[in-house]
Chain A
């Protein structure tokens, strides 16, 4: 009762394919459809044959060819479209045919001539002769759509120039920096509130975050730092041997690892590991409206989500750095013994004598600052997600890139500051 007459009477050969044989289904999907052809008669009759479908169109679908075929000859504009030999037609076929018709009637809708012509009297719509009912309905619908001008293609808006884009990016960057400051302020407020009422903080969640972000990161942090210690000692050994200053490898490895490399490599690994996880988790919560739900329930997402992560990382990252110190120096020791013949005993006793506690404390202090940077950037980028899965990915990437970049910038600032302070 809902079908138009077209549906009921369709002698559509599509239906042969319905028949069910498996290879028929397979063929239908492959390019075995009979090729679509078009014969333009001198009397204005266009004879269509074959399958005017995505599979049968072949070169006819090539827009360039279509215009060429259309414009080449001076044959009269089509008055009759004979579809009696046509096997089937789908929307792609209908669209290509109307392209051919248009180029042959010498007007393109893009040039506005169509409108003039319409005012002078509609160019006669060609008569459809012997078409399969379904195809005819489709073609009529298409021609109708075009006449009402709704089938117009909008062009993609033009790309802006370099200046425009760099200006936009500069503004966006400044806005983001401001928003980050605002975010840091909000988290600060939440932290102050939590310090006043520590019982409101969910310590169980904090501990779980420590386990995920800290304890479970021990193997990768330890291994990376060990290898870094090996590399530092190996590179130093080459140079020190030249001067017979083998034993100074202890200072080299000690200061390099404790002050610089251990906190830095730990921060970089954790930025990639936990910072990205924070951004992705909060970003997904934004997409699924969980953050909005928290807000409407009167729960501050800063307190509920950001603080536990911040505190957990502030605890875990310095501890991880201690572990990285240990394995890094161990790596240096191993290398010193194999390359410079300095025994473990010699190494450790000299290490105890020459190293100052400040080097260790500076490294740990830096790790604490890095922890704040990583947690804040990760959460901040998570909250900046809007809308879609795509956005979650983008913000996660941004969180890692920005966190690592900021960690290195801050590390450089520390180096200069400590130098000035003679530390």
Chain B
């Protein structure tokens, strides 16, 4: 994966302030094509804010964000739309529209952005749902009728509906039991191998980080403290990183689960 020079996401000296509160101070990060990158860090370390800045929901106070080589600060509306169509986002709470069935939710991006026939969109949506491991009956349910694990899967199916090159997952395993979390791990890996997307995961779940990520960026003190593989981070010297990764559940479990 090192062969491809241009990074998919490149953050340079990103600063974010809310009033006098400084979230990011000169944060640098680059995400390579095809990798699965984890964003970790304690609560309030600015992970979610960073994610929101990457998906154009929020602007940093200063600094440059380039996605697919494009500086997002210079985009006009049409260009922003073009960019948005190339990524999929799975929100922490699912973000599914509660008035639409799961199938309509998954088909919505296709309906909005393509001229495909409705029947075809329904079929593709059902396929995407099957890919994420949902039973066929789930397609007709409303998001409110799904369990937490199914909701996450449905949200992932919607994020995948346009075959995105870049996938953002915000806390994909939060609120799930260990078995469902393991299912999500597997799902992310399968998605990665099928669509070849670059995946950015914001997560606290050390198990998930061990299982699926190629590299993990640890946020703290307004910047990226460490960026490395989990194996290397487990040996890291920095106090914050050590506190985060050691003496916690989910010490090296990689390999104990069946790989996807």
Contacts and interface: CB of A to CB of B under 8 A. Distances in A.
Interface of A: 1-4, 6-8, 10, 12, 14-15, 17-22, 25-26, 28-30, 53-55, 57, 61-63, 90-92, 95-96, 99, 134, 137-138, 141-142, 145, 150-154, 156-157, 386-391
A393 to B, nearest CB: 9
A141 B86 CA distance: 22
Contacts of B136: 150, 152-154
Contacts of A150: 130, 136
Contacts of B163: 53, 90-92
B196 A153 contact: no
Given A25-B82, A63-B117, 7 more contacts: A6-B193, A7-B193, A63-B119, A63-B120, A90-B162, A151-B123, A387-B142
Given A18-B6, A25-B86, A142-B127, A92 B214 contact: no
Nearest to A10: B196
Contacts of B214: 1-2
Given A62-B117, A63-B117, A2 B127 contact: no
A96 B196 contact: no
A26 B119 contact: no
A57 B115 CA distance: 10
Contacts of A390: 98-99
B35 to A, nearest CB: 8
Nearest to B6: A20
A4 to B, nearest CB: 4
B8 A145 contact: no
Contacts of A19: 6, 69
B120 A92 contact: yes
5 contacts: A2-B36, A19-B69, A29-B113, A137-B193, A154-B137
Interface in B168-207: 189, 192-196
A157 B6 contact: no
A105 to B, nearest CB: 17
B127 A61 contact: no
A154 B110 contact: no
B193 A25 contact: no
B152 interface: no
B120 A61 contact: yes
B212 interface: yes
Given A7-B192, A18-B6, A54 B137 contact: no
Interface string B41-66: 00000000000000000000000000
Contact of B194 (A20, A54, A138): A138
B116 A7 contact: no
B78 interface: yes
Contacts of A92: 110, 114, 116, 120, 124, 163
Interface residues of B, number: 54
A84 to B, nearest CB: 20
B82 A26 contact: yes
A55 B114 contact: yes
Contact of B131 (A3, A15, A53, A145): A145
A409 B144 CA distance: 36
A18 B127 contact: no
A2 B36 CA distance: 8
Interface centre among A62, A138, A154, A386 (most CB of B within 10 A): A154
Contacts of A12: 196
B25 interface: no
A241 B61 CA distance: 72
Contacts of A153: 122-123, 126, 136, 139
Contact of B86 (A21, A29, A96, A138): A29
Contacts of A154: 126, 136-137, 139-140
Interface of B: 1, 4, 6, 8, 33-34, 36, 68-70, 78-79, 81-83, 85-86, 98-99, 110, 113-117, 119-120, 122-124, 126-128, 130-131, 136-137, 139-140, 142-145, 162-163, 165, 189, 192-196, 212, 214
Nearest to B117: A63
Interface centre among A29, A63, A157 (most CB of B within 10 A): A29
B82 A28 contact: yes
Interface centre among B34, B78, B139 (most CB of A within 10 A): B34
A156 B130 contact: no
Contact of B212 (A2, A63, A389): A2
B56 to A, nearest CB: 13
B126 A151 contact: yes
A96 B120 contact: yes
A61 B117 CA distance: 7
What 3 A-B pairs come out closest when comparing CB atoms?
Answer: A20-B69, A388-B98, A29-B82
Contacts of B117: 61-63
A46 to B, nearest CB: 20
Nearest to A142: B127
Contacts of B212: 2
B1 A8 contact: yes
Contact of A151 (B33, B81, B127, B162): B127
A29 B85 contact: yes
Nearest to B211: A2
Contact of A54 (B6, B142, B162): B162
Contacts of B81: 29
A151 B4 CA distance: 35
A19 B143 CA distance: 38
Given A54-B114, A92-B124, A3 B192 contact: yes
A62 B126 CA distance: 18
A114 B189 CA distance: 31
B98 A387 contact: yes
Contacts of B122: 153
A147 to B, nearest CB: 12
A3 B199 CA distance: 12
Nearest to B198: A18
Contact of A25 (B83, B98, B110, B140): B83
B106 to A, nearest CB: 11
A152 B126 CA distance: 7
